[in-house]
Each structure stands twice: as structure tokens, then as C-alpha cells.
Structure 1
Amino acid sequence: MKITKKTVLVTGGGSGIGYAIAQLLIQKGNKVIISGRNPAKLEKAAKEIGADYIVSDVTDADSVASLVKNLETDYSDLSVLINNAGVGFVYKLGEGANAVEKARQEFDTNYFAPVRLIELLLPLLKKQAEAAIVNITSNVAFHPLVVLPTYSDAKTALHSHSVALRLTLSSDTNIKIFEVMPSLINTDATKDMGGEQHGLPPEVAAQDIYKGINEDRNEIFVGEASQQYADYFADPKAAIAKFNQGLY
């Protein structure tokens, strides 16, 4: 799918991968709307890269309904949705971990939010001659990281949903489903994970995402994720042990 002269929504577009892919898509001749919860952050980002913005909390049903209504009214040619907004907690499972509350927040943002937004935007996307949904998951979508246990759960769920959605929509729509699985990226959200020391620049991720979509690759790997994926399917037990070496 060639992404040029398209209208694109990027959730969580005020920073990190969302900001980088929004900026690149604008440079490639697309109209981009970024969304997020922080008005000041969004306005600043939008001015910097030349995007439109809509303040919206993807975990709030009423806020999302308002976002969708706004898009239907003012951006009726929307043809690409990039589900990028995410949250993750660095911790280990065990007594006193408060895993349920952490998991609830992670699933609300990383799984239920994109599932809701996709369903609500399907009628609009189906009107376009060509459309795409891009779900940003993670390398932990195919094997868990013990210091991101419930984040891994949520991204695994979104991976499964992406596969089912791709198969479902392929029979009677022109909507393509892309899944992006990055390894560690240097963003504000990954500081506690060593992102500043070991993560790839978000601009690298944006370039890989753009190239993958243009090449119609359903699954787009960024950084080390491609090799990790190959290692996992060659020997799952060994790959998981290597991935979590020194963490448990």
C-alpha cells in the first residue's frame, strides 16, 4: 500500500514513535491528525510537524465517540488508522506486585482502546477505495519479558486480534491490517526499560514502518525483533531464556 496523499490518524502522536511516524508521513505528502490526552503536548507537536490534532483519551468511551464523530465530520476521507498509544509498567510478578491494577491499565490502553477505535472507525474506513489499520504491538507479543509481564500479555492479545481482524476483513473489504513489532525504542515511555542506553531512535522505527507498509508486509519487525521472532520459532524455550537472561 502506497501511503501518499492519504489522511491518517495517529493515536499517541505527541511523542515517541507516534510523533516520528506522523512527521515522516507528513513529509511524504499525507495529511496527519495526531491524538492524545495532553492538550499542550499535542498542540506543540502539531505545530512542530504541521499536523492537525484532536485531544482524546483512547481509554474513555465518550472521548473516543467524540473523536470518531469529529473524524466523520471533518476528515471524511480518513483512510489510515495507526494505533500507537500505549502504556507499560516495569515490574516483576509476585506477592505485592499489584499485577491486576497494572494489567487493567495496560489492557485498557494497549488492547481495549484499539479494539474499540477500530470497530467504531470501520464504517468510515470501508468507504475509502484503499484503507489500512496499523497496530503497534511489540517484540513481547510473541514471547514475554519477565519485567514487563502484563504489558506482554496486552501486546500478545493485540497481536492475536490483528491476525483475526486481517483474516476477517480480507474477505469483503479493501482494508489492510498491518502489525508493527518493534524491539526497544528510545522514547519517554522506555526510560525505565533502558531505552536511552539501548533503544533505537524513534525515527528509525518510523522509517521501517513506512517502508513495511509500502511493501505490503503484514508483519513489520523493527530492530532486533525480526531475529528474535526467528529465534523463537526455531527454539521457543531457548529464545525465551535468552530474551530474559539475567532478569529472573
Structure 2
Amino acid sequence: MNVSRKTALVTGAGSGIGYEIAKLLKEQGNTVIIAGRNAEKITKAGETLDVTAIACDVTKEADIEALVTKISAEFPELSVLVNNAGVANLYKVGENANAYQKAKQEFEVNYFGPVLLTEKLLPVLKKQAEAAIVNITSNVTFHPLVVLPTYSDTKAALHSHTVALRHTLAKDTNIKVYEVMPSLVNTEATKDMGGENGMHPSVVAQATLYGIQNDQFEIYVGDTEAQRKAYFSDPIAAIQSFNNGL
């Protein structure tokens, strides 16, 4: 799919991967809208990138409804949706871990938000000659990282949903569904989990656009492809290696 002179919406774009994807899309001649929960942060990012910025908390149905209403009215040509907003809690499951509350927060942002936003925007995307939905997941879609247990759950769930959505929409629409699975990325969100050892988010952005342009529906970035192959070769050994020392 050609990603130029399109209109794109990127969530969670105040910084990190979302910001870099929005920046690259803008550089490729696209009209870009960015959305984020923190109004001050997303406004500043919009000013820096010279794109439209909209405050939206994807855990709030009213915010999503307002965003969809604005997009439908002001950007009816929207053809690219990038679901990037995410949150992660660094901890281990066990007694007094408060896993339920952590999982609930993560699923609201990482899974339920993208599912709802995507469904609400399908009528707009279906009107375009070609369109794309891009879900940012992770290398933990295949197996969990034990210090990100419920975050891993959310990404596994979004991976499954993405596959179902891709197969469903391919039957009677022009919407293509892509999934981007990066390994460790150096962002604000990963600073407490060794993020400084990860790749720059611009690497993920570049891989994302390359993958879309070449119709790579599952886009592996960094160590993910090797980790995936290891998992399907020997799941038990791969999980042990992935969680070595944790």
C-alpha cells in the first residue's frame, strides 16, 4: 500500500513510537492527526510536527466518540489508523501483586481502546479506495515477559484480534490490517525496564512504513523475528531464554 498523500490518525503520539510514526508520515506528504491522553503533551507535539493534535483518552468511550465525530466531520478522507497508545506495569504476578487492577488498566488502554476506536472508524475507512489499520503490539505477543505479565496478556489479545480483523475485512473491504511487533524500544515508558538498551523509536517508524508499503502484514522489528522463530521451534526453551535472570 502506498503511504503518501493520505490522511492518517496516530494515537499515543505525544512521544516515542507514535510521535516518530507521525513525524515520518508527515515527511512522506501525508495529512496527519495525532491523539493523546495528555492535552498539554499532545498539543506541544502537534505544534512541533505541524500537525493537528487532539486530546483523547482511549479508555473513555466519550473521548473516542468525540474523536470519531471530529474525524468524520473534518477529515472524512481518513485512510490510515495507527493504534499505538499503550501502557505497561513492571511487576511480577503473585500474592499481593494487585494484578487485577494493573491488568484492568492495561487492557483499557492497550486492547479495549483500539478495538472500540477501530470499530467506530470503520465507516470512514471503508469509504476510501484503499485504507490501513496498523496495530502496534510487541514481541511479547508470542510468550510473556514475566516482569510485564499482564501487559503481555494485552498484546497477545490484540495480536489475536488483529488476525481476526485482517481476515474478516479482507473479504469485502479495501482495508488492510497490519501489525507491528517491536522488541525493546528506548522510550519514556521503558526507562524503568532497561529501555536505554533498546532501539530508537524512529527505527520502529521506518520499519512500519516500509512494511505497509510492501504489504508485510506482520512487521517484526528488532529481535522479534528471531524470538518468534525460536518460540515456534522450541516454546519451553524460548520462554526460558526470554526470561533468563528475571
Normalising by the residue count of structure 2, what TM-score does the alignment of the two structures yield?
0.99
C-alpha deviations, 1:152-186, integer Å up to 9, x for none?
A: 00000000000000011110000000000000000
Aligned partner of 2:212 in structure 1 is: 213
Looking at structure 2, the residues matched to 43 and 163 of structure 1 have their Cα atoms a distance apart, in angstroms, of 33
Give, in whole Å, the separation in 2 of the partners of 1:180 and 1:150. Answer: 19
5+ long unaligned stretches in structure 1: none
CA-to-aligned-CA distance 1:47-87 (integer Å, 9 cap, x gap) = 11121111111110011000000000000000000000000
Task: Specify the alignment match of 1:233 in structure 2.
Answer: 232
C-alpha offsets along residues 169-225 of structure 1, whole Å, 9 cap, x if unaligned? 1100000000000000000000111102x1100011111111111110000011001
Per the alignment, residue 57 of structure 2 pairs with: 57
SS of residue matched to 1:128: coil
Equivalence for 1:8: 8
Match of 2:116 in 1: 116
Cα RMSD between the aligned structures?
0.6
1:11 CA drift (Å): 0.3
In structure 2, the residue matched to 1:97 is 97
TM-score (norm 1): 0.98
Aligned to 1:202: 201
Map 1:38-49 onto structure 2 (within 5 A): 38-49=38-49
Which SS does the other structure have where 2:13 is aligned? coil
Question: How far apart are residue 38 of structure 1 and its match?
Answer: 1.2
1:182 is aligned to: 182
In structure 1, how many angstroms separate the alpha carbons of the residues matched to 2:137 and 2:93?
21
Cα distance in 1 for residues equivalent to 2:149 and 2:46: 33
Query: Would you identify which runs of 4 or more consecutive aligned residues in structure 1 move more than 4 Å?
Result: none
User: For 2:79, what is the secondary structure of its paired residue?
Assistant: strand
Q: Deviations over 1:85-141 (max 9, x none)?
A: 000000001111000000000000000000000110000000000000000000001
Structure 1 Cα separation of the partners of residues 192 and 51 of structure 2: 29
Counterpart for residue 67 of structure 1: 67
Cα offset for 1:39? 1.5
Offset of 1:44 from its aligned partner?
1.1
Partner of 1:167: 167
- Aligned partner of 1:84 in structure 2 is 84
1:24 and 1:165 map into 2 onto residues whose CA distance is 26
AA paired with 1:141?
Answer: T
Tell me how far apart the structure 1 counterparts of residues 124 and 58 of structure 2 sit (CA, whole Å).
Answer: 18
**Quick one: distance in 1 between partners of 2:63 and 2:69?**
10
Q: Which runs of 5+ in 2 are unaligned?
A: none
Separation in 2 of the partners of 1:226 and 1:206?
17
Shift of residue 238, structure 1, vs aligned partner: 0.8
3-state SS of paired residue (1:72): helix
Partner-residue secondary structure (3-state), 1:78: coil
